[in-house]
Chains A and B, each alone.
Chain A
Amino acid sequence: MIIFRDVSKIYHIGDTEVRALDHANMHIRKGEFVSIIGPSGSGKSTLMNIVGCLDQASEGTYLLDGQAIEDYSNRELAKIRNRKIGFIFQDFNLLPKLTAYENVELPLIYQRMGKKGRQERVEEALNRVGLWDRRKHRPTELSGGQQQRVAIARALATHPSLFLADEPTGNLDQKTGRELMDIFHELHESGNTIVLITHDAHIAAEASRSIKILDGHVTDVNDASEITEVV
Chain B
Amino acid sequence: MIGQSFKMAWASVISNKMRSFLTMLGIIIGVIALVVLVSIANGATSSVTDAISSIGTNLLSVTITDDKENPLRLSEMDEVLDLDHIAMAAPTAQTSLTASKGENSESAQITGTTADYLSIEGLNLASGRWIRSSDVENNTNVVVINGDLAADVLGVRNTEQAIGQTISLNGNHYTVIGVLADDETISMSFSSYEAYVPYTSLIRIASSVSSGITSFVCASASDDEIDAAESTLKAWLLKRFDNDDDAFEITNMSTIADTLDSVVNTMTIMLGGIAAISLLVGGIGIMNIMLVSVTERTKEIGIRKAIGAGEGSIMLQFLIEALVLSLLGCLLGVAGSWLILRLIYLISDFNFPMDPGVVVVATAFSLIIGLLFGLYPARKAARKEPIDALHYAG
Q: Hey, which bits of chain A sit against chain B, CB under 8 A?
A: 49, 52, 54-55, 74-75, 78-79, 81-83, 87, 89, 93-95, 97, 106-107, 109-112, 154, 158
Q: Is B306 interfacial (CB 8 A cutoff)?
A: yes
Q: Is A112 within 8 A of B307, CB to CB?
A: no
* Contacting pair A78 B390 (CB below 8 A): no
Complex: A89 Cα to B15 Cα, angstroms: 26
Q: Which residues of A contact B11 (CB under 8 A)?
A: 97
- One digit per residue, 1 when the CB lies within 8 angstroms of any chain A CB and 0 when it does not, for chain B 21-35 equals 000000000000000
Q: Is B309 an interface residue (CB 8 A)?
A: yes
Question: Is there contact, CB below 8 Å, between B306 and A93?
Answer: yes
Q: How far is the CA of A112 from the CA of B4 in the complex (A)?
A: 10
Asked if A83 and B390 make an inter-chain contact with CB atoms under 8 angstroms apart, the answer reads: no
Extra 19 A-B pairs, beta carbons < 8 Å, given A54-B387, A55-B387, A93-B299: A54-B386, A54-B390, A75-B310, A75-B312, A78-B310, A78-B311, A79-B310, A81-B308, A82-B309, A87-B307, A89-B390, A95-B304, A107-B307, A109-B4, A110-B310, A111-B308, A112-B1, A154-B307, A158-B308
Which residues of chain A are within 8 angstroms of B312 by Cβ–Cβ distance? Answer: 75
Tell me the B352-394 residues at the A interface (CB within 8 Å). Answer: 386-387, 390
Asked if B306 and A97 sit within 8 Å, CB to CB, the answer is no
- Chain A residues lying within 8 Å of B307, measured Cβ to Cβ, are 81-82, 87, 106-107, 110, 154
Q: Cβ of B12: which chain A residues have Cβ within 8 Å of it? A: 97
Interface residues of B in 303-324 (CB under 8 A from A): 303-313
Q: Is the CB of B1 within 8 A of A78?
A: no
Give 10 nearest A-B pairs by CB, closest first.
A82-B308, A78-B310, A107-B307, A110-B308, A93-B303, A81-B308, A54-B386, A54-B387, A110-B309, A75-B310
Min CB distance, A76 to chain B, in Å? Answer: 9
Task: List B residues at the A interface (Cβ < 8 Å).
Answer: 1, 4, 11-12, 15, 299-300, 302-313, 386-387, 390
Q: Which residue of A lies closest to B310 (CB)?
A: A78
Contacts A54-B306, A93-B303, A109-B4; is A74 near B311 (CB within 8 Å)? Answer: yes
A111 CB to nearest chain B CB (Å): 7
In the complex, what distance in Å separates the CA atom of A81 from the CA atom of B302? 12
A107 to B306, CA, bound (A): 9
Can you name 24 A-B residue pairings with CB atoms under 8 Å?
A49-B387, A54-B386, A54-B390, A55-B387, A75-B311, A78-B309, A81-B306, A81-B308, A81-B386, A82-B308, A82-B309, A83-B308, A87-B307, A89-B306, A89-B390, A93-B306, A93-B390, A107-B307, A109-B1, A109-B4, A110-B308, A110-B309, A110-B313, A154-B307
- How far is B1's CA from A121's CA once the two chains are assembled, in angstroms? 18
Q: Are A52 and B313 in contact (CB under 8 A)?
A: no
Instruction: Give the Cβ gap from A159 to chain B, nearest Cβ, in Å.
Output: 13
Query: In whole angstroms, how far apart are the Cα atoms of A49 and B386 in the complex?
Result: 10
- Candidates A87, A95, A154, A158; contact of B300 at CB < 8 Å: A95
The chain B residue sitting closest to A92, CB to CB, is B303
How distant is the Cα of A94 from the Cα of B304 in the complex, in angstroms?
9
A111: nearest chain-B partner, CB-CB: B308
Q: How far is the CA of A10 from the CA of B311 in the complex (A)?
A: 25
Quick check: B15 and A97 within 8 Å, CB to CB?
Answer: yes
Most chain B Cβ neighbours within 10 Å, of A49, A83, A93, A111: A93
In Å, the complex CA distance between A79 and B311 comes to 11
Q: Is the Cβ of B305 less than 8 Å from the Cβ of A78?
A: yes
The CA of A82 and the CA of B307, in the complex, are separated in Å by 5
- Could you say which of A79, A95, A111, A112 has the most chain B C-beta atoms within 10 Å of its C-beta? A95
**Among B4, B306, B310, B311, contact of A87 (Cβ-Cβ < 8 Å):** B306
Give the docked Cα–Cα distance between A52 and B303 (Å).
13
Residues of B within 8 A of A93 (CB): 299, 302-303, 306, 390
B72 to chain A, nearest CB (A): 86
